[in-house]
Structure 1
Amino acid sequence: MLSASRPDLSTAVWRKSSYSNNEGGVCVEVADGYPALVPVRDSKNPHGPALLIPHHAWAAFIAGLKGECPAGR
């Protein structure tokens, strides 16, 4: 379970998805360096909200995108 306090993301270093382009496509950014969490935001709205995804859930999500998760998980 996540703590009730949110990390300060004001100094976060965001990196854009390698699938993003400069033509206004669907873009996400993630920030590294937050233990147990992966901050995710919409690159078209950098001052908007960020989702805080538990690290294990993000790893499972990425593995699923790569087709590395066993069926039914």
Structure 2
Amino acid sequence: DMKLVYIFMPKDGSLEKLVERKANELARKIVQRSSTTMKLEDQATSNERILEAIQELTIELKREMPGTLWD
């Protein structure tokens, strides 16, 4: 007896690493977009705060796993 199995494997090793990378990429896009808007409104934030926001959003995206993570 045999069964046919399809499997998707991440190129960079583990699913956890893939989710981390995708969440971080999305978080960077979101934070940079809002940071640019704030600069245009003369409300710029420090680089340190931007990095903190990226880290916080990465954690939130990993926890919630929105569909946009895979776009």
TM surpasses 0.5: no
TM-score, normalised to structure 1, is: 0.29
Of the two structures, which has the highest relative contact order with CA contacts closer than 8 Å and spacing of 6 or more?
2
| Larger Cα-atom Rg | 2
TM-score, normalised to structure 2, is: 0.30
Higher strand share: 1
